[in-house]
Chains A and B, each alone.
Chain A
Amino acid sequence: MSEEQIKNLEQQFEARIARDEKIEPKDWMPEKYRKTHIRQISQHAHSEIVGMLPEGNWITRAPSLRRKVALLAKVQDEAGHGLYLYSACETLGVSRNELYEQLHTGKAKYSSIFNYPTITWADMGAIGWLVDGAAIINQVPLCSTSYGPYARAMIRVCKEESFHQRQGFEIMMKLANGTPEQKELAQDALNRWWWPSLMMLGPTDAESVHTEQSMKWKLKRKSNDDLRQQFIDQTVPQADLIGLTIPDPNLKWNEERGSYDFGEINWDEFWQVVKGHGPCNKERIDARVNAWNNGEWVRDAAVAYADKKATKKQRQAV
C-alpha cells in the first residue's frame, strides 16, 4: 500500500470512530491503534491478575465465613476479569502466553497500587472501597470504547464488579462502627490506601503522555485529573458517613468549584513504585512467575492427554 492509500484508510478509520462505530478484530486498523490497544488491554488484564494477590493473602484468615465467601468470590471475579481481558487482547493477534511473558519479565506494567502490602484485615475493606472505587471510575467509560471486544469485556467486568466496592465499604463500615480497636484498624487502612488510590488514577494531565490519542480512540473519556476529582468528591462524603478521616489536612470543600480542594500528591513515590521500587513489586511478580512455572507440567500433561485421546478417536473412526 502506498503512503497515500494508508493515509486515506486512516482518515476513514478515524471517521468511523468519531461516528461512534465499533472496530472489530478483522477490520483494518492502524498499527498504532493495534499496539496501543494491546498495551492498554494487557496492562488492564495484568492488573486484575496481580490484583488477586494482595487480597488473596487474606482468604485463609477472613474473620467470618460470610466474609470469607465474599472475598473468595471477589478474588475469583478478578481472575475472570483478567481472563476476559486477555481474551479481548488475543483478538489483536497476541497470545495469552506472550502477554504473560511480558508480565513475568517486567516488560509489561500493571496497576502500581497492588505493590502495596495488605497487612491487616481492614485493608480488604480499604481495597474494595477505594481501589475498586477508583477502578470503577476508570472502567465505566470504557464500556463504550471504540474496540468492540474490549468494550464487551468491560461491560461484563463492570456488571460483575458492582458488588466489589459494596463488599469493601461494608467491611469498613462494620469496622468503623465497631470497637475502638476496630475503628483504629479502619482509620489506619484508610491512611495507608488513600494516597495510593489517588495515584492510581494516573499522573497529572500535564505529565500524561498518551491522553490526546487515547481520547480520540475512546480509550479514555475523561482526563486523569478530572477522574481524580470525581473520585475524591464522591469518596469524601462516604468517609464522613462512617466517621473516618481522610488523611489530608488540605482537604477542603471549595464552594465556588463545587468540588474538594486537596493536598499535593507525592508523585515521587508514584514513579518509584512504577519503576519497581514499591514495597511488594518483587513478591507480586515472583508469585505470578511461580504459579506459572509450577503449573507448566500440569498444562503439558493436559495437552499430552488431549493428543492421545484425539489419536485414539481417529483410530476408532478408521
Chain B
Amino acid sequence: MKKNWPLWEVFVRSKNGLEHRHFGSLHAADEDMALENARDVYTRRNEGVSIWVVKSKHITASNPEHHGELFEPAQDKVYRHPTFYDLPDEVKHM
C-alpha cells in the first residue's frame, strides 16, 4: 500500500485578541495528527495560543483570472471611505 498523508493548512492565533493567520501547511493522516503536527512544527518558538487545521482540499479559492470582475469594481466606490465626505475642520470627534 502506498497512500499519502493528505495536505492540511495551518492557521495560528499568535495571542488572544488577534485573528488566526495562515502559517503554512503540513501532512497528516487525520485531524488529531494534523493538530499535533501543527503544534510541533509551527509553534516551536512560542508563536501561538490556538491552532486551526483544515484539509487543503476543503478550501475553495477564487480564480485569479476573475480578478477583474471580482475585485476591480470595488476600487472606485470611494463613497465607502470616510475621506469621501467634506466636513469643515471645526467639526470634532467625527
Spell out A's residues near B (CB within 8 Å). Answer: 24, 26-28, 76-77, 80, 83-84, 87, 90, 95-97, 152-153, 156, 160, 296, 299-300, 302-306, 309-310
Chain B contact residues, majority secondary structure: loop
Beyond A24-B64, A26-B64, whether A300 also contacts B27 by CB under 8 A is: no
| B87 CB to nearest chain A CB (Å) | 36
- Measured in the bound complex, the distance between the Cα atoms of B32 and A309 in whole Å is 11
> For chain B, which range describes its interface: under 10, 10 to 19, 20 to 34, or 35 or more residues?
20 to 34
**Is B70's CB within 8 Å of the partner chain A?**
no
Which of chain B's residues 1-53 have a Cβ closer than 8 Å to chain A? 1-5, 7, 24-27, 29-30, 33, 41, 44-45
Residue in A84, A90, A153, A299 whose beta carbon sits within 8 Å of that of B5 in the complex: A299
Cβ contact within 8 Å between A160 and B45 = yes
B45 touches A87 (CB 8 A): no
Among candidates A24, A97, A160, A302, residue contacting B29 with C-beta atoms closer than 8 Å: A302
Chain B residues, CB < 8 A from A299: 3, 5, 29
Tell me whether A90 and B65 are in contact (CB under 8 A): no
Chain B residues, CB < 8 A from A90: 7, 25
Q: A90-B7, A303-B3 are in contact. Are A156 and B33 (CB under 8 A)?
A: no
CB distance A95 to B4 under 8 Å? yes
Q: Which A residue sits closest to B37, measured CB to CB? A: A83
Chain B nearest Cβ from A314, distance in angstroms: 14
Q: How far is the CA of A258 from the CA of B5 in the complex (A)?
A: 53
Residue in A24, A80, A97, A302 whose beta carbon sits within 8 Å of that of B30 in the complex: A302
Contact B3 A76 (CB under 8 A): no
Assuming the A-B contacts A26-B61, A26-B63, A26-B64, are A309 and B30 also in contact, with contact meaning beta carbons closer than 8 angstroms in the complex? yes
Of all chain B residues, the one with the shortest Cβ separation from A297 is B1
Instruction: Indicate if the CB atoms of B24 and A153 lie closer than 8 Å.
Output: yes
Closest A residue, CB atoms, query B56: A90
Q: Are B5 and A296 in contact (CB under 8 A)?
A: no
Task: Name B45's closest neighbour in chain A (CB-CB).
Answer: A160
A302 CA / B41 CA spacing, docked (Å): 18
Closest beta carbon of chain B to A101's beta carbon, Å: 11
In the complex, chain A residues whose CB is within 8 Å of the CB of B61:
26
Residues of A contacting B30 in the complex (Cβ-Cβ under 8 angstroms) = 302, 305-306, 309-310
Given contact pairs A26-B63, A303-B29, a sample of 19 additional A-B residue pairs in the complex whose CB atoms are under 8 Å apart: A28-B64, A76-B44, A80-B44, A83-B41, A87-B24, A90-B25, A95-B4, A97-B4, A156-B24, A160-B45, A299-B5, A299-B29, A300-B2, A300-B3, A302-B33, A304-B1, A305-B29, A305-B30, A306-B33
Report which of A87, A296, A309 forms a contact with B26, defined as CB distance below 8 A: A87
**A296 partner residues in chain B, CB cutoff 8 A:** 2
Chain A to chain B: the 3 pairs with minimum beta-carbon distance, closest first: A302-B29, A306-B30, A306-B29
Minimum CB–CB distance for B82 against chain A, Å: 28
Q: Smallest distance from the beta carbon of B15 to chain A beta carbons, Å? A: 18
B7 surroundings in chain A (CB, below 8 A):
87, 90
Return B61 CB to nearest CB of chain A, in Å. 6
Closest Cβ–Cβ distance, residue B66 to chain A (whole Å): 11
Q: How far is the CA of A253 from the CA of B7 in the complex (A)?
A: 52
Complexed CA–CA distance, A310 and B65 (Å): 36
Contacts of A77 in B (CB 8 A): 44
Across the two chains, which residue of chain A brings its CB closest to B25? A87
CB distance from A300 to the nearest CB of B (A): 5
A77 closest partner in B (C-beta): B44
CB distance from A69 to the nearest CB of B (A): 13
Cα-based distance from A300 to B45 in the complex (angstroms): 30
Question: Could you write out 14 A-B pairs with CB less than 8 Å apart?
Answer: A28-B64, A28-B65, A83-B26, A87-B26, A96-B27, A152-B24, A156-B24, A299-B29, A300-B1, A302-B5, A303-B5, A303-B29, A306-B33, A309-B30
